[in-house]
Structure 1
Amino acid sequence: MSTPNYTLIGAVSTRAARPVWMLEELGVPYEHLGVKPHSDDVVRHYPRGKVPVLLVEGEPITDSTAILSYLADAHDQFTARAGTLARARQDMLLQCALDEFDSVLWTSARHSFILPEDKRVPQVKDSLRWEFERNQASMARRMGDGPYLTGENFSIADIVLGHCLLWAKAAKFEITEPALVEYFDRISERPAYKATMAKR
């Protein structure tokens, strides 16, 4: 089966980095439009203006995690088989990364530069940093001894957590758990990660 025509919309400085990383891991051809949220190229396919958007033969898929799941299933790579305990563990850790890392960082971003100034509560960031540190300890206990979140095999859960750790560094949220420092150093050596960062 031939590879569909993929166009990924969204700057790598956003969550669009996740599907770009995935496409690089897959080694499939794609077009990348590195535009900001609410750009015309985005709103045309997603009226709310959020990125990323993946066009598959012109059909839009939104939300970085949905895009990762689609690509993993479509290419049968970087995911465990549906209906297996391995898939359940992968999904548990993926959801944990979204709930305990992504959501904290997104809330901080909203109160830093996204919400209208009169709706921002800068003081909340102290609480968020405390929560982020506590959540790191929990994730470190769940990771196990393998090089990746689910063990020996790199998966879409690693792309989400890896991107969250990159985001944390940019937002000056300290990575305090040695296991997570080592984990990030390891996955950031992957050629697909480096290719993604080269698009920043």
Structure 2
Amino acid sequence: MIRLHHCHETRSMRSLWLLNELDLEFELQIHPFDKSLRSPEYLSLNPAGRVPALEIEGDVVFESGAITELLCERHSPDRLGRNPQDPDRPDWLTWVHFAETVSQHSAALTQQHIALYDDAMRSPIVMKLEAARLGKCFEAIEGRLSTPVENRDYLLTSGFSAADISVGQAVYMARHFVRLEAFPELAKWYDRITERPSFAASLPPEGAELLYKRDFYEVWNG
């Protein structure tokens, strides 16, 4: 049995997208993005009170990078994962976990723009710094996708993988704070990977309560 605990438009979408791409049978437990994640019942699954949490064959895994590694090792070591002998394994690991670097800056901006309920609590300096750091992350992805190799359609030379899912989901969140237009290769890659049915299946359904109420959040100047 596989059960994913999920909130719309959060890091758990990374695990949901991967489960859909793997075409596995699983149960989806959707939680509101609120204090209910601090309930004793949920904290027994994820002591940080965050999503994702993946229940799988009697175990619980609650870090998205670890979930990605585990699911790929068990269900797709060569297509979506890369086995330890694969020349692309170091790059696969690097980009799978780089997704969290992107996400931490998006999370800081989400807190500033959305979670804080009083303008006096917001910091234009923090917003500018975190948006600049996201821009540096986008530059890193742009540089990777601009590497002059044949058929550079994905992050790995050997083709589409869970690395694209992990970083792609991080960009899905980050694009609310940094525009993609300045990064043409990243934008083309993002369009390419989000055309996959597994991505569409991971989006919030129509009528769902969304975390992001706007397509883009400008830096707040007070």
Q: Give the TM bin, normalised by the shorter chain.
A: 0.7 to 0.9
Q: Share of identical aligned residues, percent?
A: 24
Which structure has more helix as a fraction of its residues? 1
Partner of residue 190, structure 1 = 196
**Is contact 1:9-1:42 (8 Å) kept?**
no
Structure 2 unaligned blocks of 5 or more: 209-222
Count of matched residue positions in the alignment of Structure 1 and Structure 2:
194
Shift of 1:42: 2.8
Partner of residue 56, structure 1 = 56
| 1:82 to 1:36, Cα distance in 2 relative to 1, 3 A | farther
For 1:91, what is the secondary structure of its paired residue? Answer: helix
**Is contact 1:112-1:122 (8 Å) kept?**
no
Identify the match of residue 25 of structure 2 among 24, 29, 32: 29
User: Does residue 85 of the first structure (1) align with residue 87 of the second (2)?
Assistant: yes
Higher relative contact order (CA 8 A, sep 6+): 2
For 2:202, what is the secondary structure of its paired residue? Answer: helix
Within-5 A mapping of 1:1-200: 5-37=1-33, 38-39=36-37, 40=39, 42-75=42-75, 76=77, 77-99=79-101, 101-114=102-115, 120-143=122-145, 144=147, 145-169=151-175, 171-175=176-180, 176-197=182-203, 199=205
For 2:88, what is the secondary structure of its paired residue? Answer: helix
What TM-score comes out, normalization by structure 1 length? 0.85
What TM-score comes out, normalization by structure 2 length? 0.77
Q: Which amino acid aligns with 2:162?
A: I
**1:44, 1:32 → 2: CA distance?**
18
RMSD across aligned positions (CA): 2.3
